[in-house]
A and B are shown apart, each in its own frame.
Chain A
């Protein structure tokens, strides 16, 4: 194997070479570094890298561990000890993490090498990675287009073979939507399956850390290493962690897949619709039974999500006061002036918009009309899924209503940007697990091919089931093997 081919490998492929001592973890890192130096000027997926620390870890690692010697890129909202954790915000520009997030500590214990941090929308607020205060990441399939967001750097790095695999976080679609737009696999675990300790908080009742990888099997490997209860996160679930890779090869005979009719509304791109129809036909040929179901409150999920997520964000981001960490405004005239200018100068436009919306929906006189109403609607959205899962094992939908859009196109129109999450927010509100896998391509008017994603949603804690379904589809199609020309 020549070094330049190493960055294109999956975790599983790399593991075999490492364990056979055909390559060393150091050689893998150096090959990855070379690839990043060549490609990242076009993509801008990374915010920081610490090669020296990574090489020291690589030289000491036991390659027989589950992820021994495998480099993993990490979204810059997840704490990796002694590395920057900027959340792509000016307010955390000089911040360095003092501890490892639990997910990171578990990956480290499994032998993974944490070598770099990837770009995101500031504080994970956005669907295009354009809200980063540092730079915009470009889609490896078409550098004029966005990679999706908020985990756009993590998705683009994997798609461009600048990472073997990466971690993102998903609040309303922030792993699944960029996975779809970049043509990689992305999983949002069940709420509580992976500890949130060390993930900088945006919307605490919704967000989860999850993997972005080149194959479903790699996602299963990372989830097996990260999942589990954590005394540092009281919302983490105590359910036992299975070996998620163990049941992947089971066939789909007798599996019941639901097609929610509300997800095939008029607003979706024709290429997205036909890719979904082709995927449904593929599942039928694999022996699955397709059943039409209804999730009647689907159309309320975007509004419910943006009320609840911004309300939680306004409270979580109150901690940025310019006293204990982060940016501080110069020459304050008073304590109030210190707070107000520190926050006005430190936060970008989208973060300010969401803090204002969140403060408003929680404020006296509007709490019942917005926040309480949204929480009750959330109950109905959860019930929709319980009813559907009484009939089927998993649900199929597009991940995003359209392929990657052009950089700059939506920045001035927040509402239109929010609608990019139309198919992903419901699963977040219900706390269930959902995965996006490559399922086809759309051709643009300029002749460029852009990847499309299929979303498979499963019952809470049934990650093993949706991984099995996703793996069967992936192994019977070629979509995941395509790579952008870079």
Chain B
């Protein structure tokens, strides 16, 4: 759990963030401090303790499987940066 393990440049690639060299160096330093502060979590005795994924243990909330109104095609496309012929336009992904 030692902070030098954090390689900001590598994690930024995983997170699809094209960071500049300056940002990479700055975040490396700042996040190392945050992780060093978090080292104290190692002191906590967690033996036999279950993980809490939520504030409340709520399970299996189901609803009727029925048709409900949703966004129209025009609404779904309204905020898109590029559209044509009622479609989202994206960069070419196959050669």
A interface vs B, CB < 8 Å? 94-96, 98, 191-192, 205-206, 231, 234-235, 237, 297, 299-300, 302-304, 306-307, 314, 318, 322-328, 332, 334-341, 343-344, 347, 349, 352-353, 355-357, 359-360, 363, 366, 369-370, 372-380, 382, 413-415, 418, 429-431, 460
- Secondary structure type dominating chain B contacts: loop
Chain A residues with Cβ under 8 A from B33's Cβ? 414-415
Indicate if the CB atoms of B55 and A205 lie closer than 8 Å: yes
Knowing that A192-B58, A429-B55 touch, tell me 16 more A-B residue pairs with CB under 8 angstroms.
A191-B55, A192-B55, A205-B54, A302-B37, A303-B38, A323-B80, A325-B81, A340-B18, A352-B27, A353-B27, A360-B31, A363-B11, A376-B49, A377-B44, A379-B51, A430-B55
Contact of A340 among B16, B50, B71 (CB under 8 A): B16
Task: Give the distance in Å from the alpha carbon of A137 to the alpha carbon of B71 in the complex.
Answer: 34
Contact of A379 among B1, B13, B19, B52 (CB under 8 A): B52
Q: Which of B39-61 contact A (CB under 8 A)?
A: 40-42, 44, 46, 49-56, 58, 61
Indicate if the CB atoms of B23 and A352 lie closer than 8 Å: yes
Indicate if the CB atoms of A327 and B17 lie closer than 8 Å: no
B interface vs A, CB < 8 Å? 1, 5-6, 8, 11-19, 23, 27, 30-31, 33-35, 37-38, 40-42, 44, 46, 49-56, 58, 61, 63, 71, 75-76, 78-82, 88, 90-91, 93
Indicate if the CB atoms of A335 and B93 lie closer than 8 Å: yes
Distance from B73 Cβ to chain A, minimum over Cβ atoms (Å): 12
Q: Known contacts A314-B15, A339-B16; is A234 also within 8 Å of B80 by CB?
A: no
Contact of B30 among A314, A338, A414 (CB under 8 A): A414
Indicate if the CB atoms of A363 and B75 lie closer than 8 Å: no
Indicate if the CB atoms of B61 and A374 lie closer than 8 Å: no
Distance from B64 Cβ to chain A, minimum over Cβ atoms (Å): 9
Indicate if the CB atoms of B34 and A328 lie closer than 8 Å: no
Closest Cβ neighbor of A98 among chain B residues: B75
Indicate if the CB atoms of B51 and A376 lie closer than 8 Å: yes
